[in-house]
Amino acid sequence: MRNICVIGTGYVGLVSGAGMADFGNSVICTDIDRKKIEMLQAGEIPIFEPGLKELVDRNVNASRLTFSADVESSIRDAEVIFIAVGTPMGENGEADLKAVEAVAKTIAKNLNGYKIICTKSTVPVGTGARLEALIEQEKESEFEFDVVSNPEFLREGSAVKDFLIPDRVVLGVSTERASDIMKAVYRSLYINETPMVVTNVPTAETIKYASNAFLAVKISFINEMANLADKVGADVHTIARAMGLDGRISSKFLHPGPGYGGSCFPKDTEALVFTGAQHGVNFQVVKAAIEANKSQRNVILAKAKELVPDLKGKTVAILGLAFKANTDDVRDTPALEIIQGLEAAGASVKAYDPIAAENMKKFFLPNLDTRDSVLETVRDADLVIILTPWNELRGLGLKDLKEHLNAPNIVDARNILSVEQLKEFGYNYRNVGRSNI
């Protein structure tokens, strides 16, 4: 068992802290946001993530997981300190490391023994060396420390499973001492023979960006194939399935739609391009994926205008606001640009999302007309656009739904509805990569 402090109780920090406690470690999750800490101490979870409350409650009840707003004391009490604060995208695409550097300075002021300072936040290559120099400069004692990179690979909506049963654990270390302690942190996974990639810090930092950029390329690629399929009468689902049967390709992330969003892919691809430019490397493939993803929003808007050429004065029902199902995250969600495009064309928009509606209004569209149910949203609509593949939307009763609409027009941007039923019940429809089958 190791004494661990996780600084930052956002998506990554909270899941990671609870997960490491579940591995038998003693974990303090700390944050300068007192309201968030008070919520956690009261048993409330500030983010929506399936299974997270159960994981947190289990480890709080076992006295392995605690929460504190006293960051400095939490640092002093820990042997391993995980930095899990935000690294948002800056103006030029670079990762904004202000929060990470502020945490590093606080750690330096409270170095009261040997400690491992581990970056869990997604940071560009070279950050480990940067933090090491900063802490060395700021520290007020002679105690030694090691900077480690331990990138996260958590998918929103299945993050708890991803942490507890990961495909791999990446550890970027520079000393044998740090390596041994980090393996002890993940001892439960080590015993279960989870692949451990132990490498140097720059390699570990790069692995995270390489993984996310490659997946973003796959998404952008299949969306472009879907756009071709629409033109030639092909079925992109069959194309993706046949591609996925090739072991060199695999079926993962070959799902066409309105483009990727969320907190990782948009900023990580931009950050990788920025880092490449700093070192004289032109990431042409990643740049193309970024541009293709931006264009995909316009593809969905174009499909809407194919069904309703003049949107002025028309009512459009948006079903799904989160960038993916099983999360309340609306950062870089395709829904934002699509709604703005519809409103710019003169349409009146009503929207429904079972989880993310409040966040969309809070962070981006305060005047958005959100409703509490699908039927309330689609009533008297001239067009329905499905943007998030929530399970409840997969089971829409198309026959009954039609009775509530002004006109039976649907853009299924997630391909979750039955094409046969859309035809049977007389809908005018567009989807992604199978509109003409």
Tokens (6 digits) for 3: 């004494």
Q: Specify if 136 maps to a domain.
A: yes
Residues 279 and 413 in one domain: yes
Of 139, 174, 199, which residue constitutes the final position of a domain?
Answer: 199
Residues 223, 163: Cα–Cα separation, whole Å:
29
**pLDDT reported for residue 90:** 84
The string of pLDDT tens digits covering residues 275-292 is 999 999 999 999 999 999
Q: Specify if 421 maps to a domain.
A: yes
Count: domains in the chain:
2
Residues 424, 208: Cα–Cα separation, whole Å:
46
Residues 115 and 181 in one domain: yes
With CA atoms as reference, report the closest residue to 322 among 410, 256, 389, 377: 389
Residues 225 and 180 in one domain: no
The string of pLDDT tens digits covering residues 43-71 is 999 999 999 999 999 999 999 999 999 99
Q: Specify if 119 maps to a domain.
A: yes
Residues 242 and 271 in one domain: yes
**Residue 170 belongs to domain spanning:** 3-199
Question: 81 CB contacts (<8 Å, ≥6 apart)?
Answer: 4, 5, 6, 7, 75, 107, 115, 116, 117, 118
Q: For residues 17-36, give the mean pLDDT.
A: 97
Residues 227 and 365 in one domain: yes
Q: For residues 35-46, give the mean pLDDT.
A: 96
The string of pLDDT tens digits covering residues 291-306 is 999 999 999 999 999 9
With 80 as the cut, is the pLDDT of residue 436 above it? no
Residues 230 and 378 in one domain: yes
* Three-class SS of 187-208: HHHHHCCCCEEEECHHHHHHHH
Residues 227 and 357 in one domain: yes
Residues 274 and 305 in one domain: yes
Q: Specify if 436 maps to a domain.
A: no
Active site positions, annotated: 264
Q: What is the DSSP string of 305-348?
A: HHH-S--TT-EEEEE--SSSTT----TT-HHHHHHHHHHHTT-E
**pLDDT reported for residue 426:** 96
Q: Specify if 178 maps to a domain.
A: yes
Q: Specify if 208 maps to a domain.
A: no
CB 175 within 8 A of CB 143: no
The string of pLDDT tens digits covering residues 361-399 is 999 999 999 999 999 999 999 999 999 999 999 989 999
Residues 370 and 266 in one domain: yes
Q: Specify if 220 maps to a domain.
A: yes
Residues 356 and 303 in one domain: yes
Q: Specify if 138 maps to a domain.
A: yes
Residues 152 and 113 in one domain: yes
Q: Starting from the edge strand earliest in sequence, which strands make up the sheet with 196-199, in order? A: 65-68, 26-30, 3-7, 80-83, 115-119, 145-149, 169-172, 196-199
Confidence of residue 192 (pLDDT cuts 50, 70, 90): confident
**pLDDT reported for residue 16:** 98
Q: Report the CATH number at residue 246.
A: 3.40.50.720
Residues 188 and 231 in one domain: no
With 80 as the cut, is the pLDDT of residue 107 above it? yes
Of 170, 199, 228, which residue constitutes the final position of a domain?
Answer: 199
Confidence of residue 263 (pLDDT cuts 50, 70, 90): confident
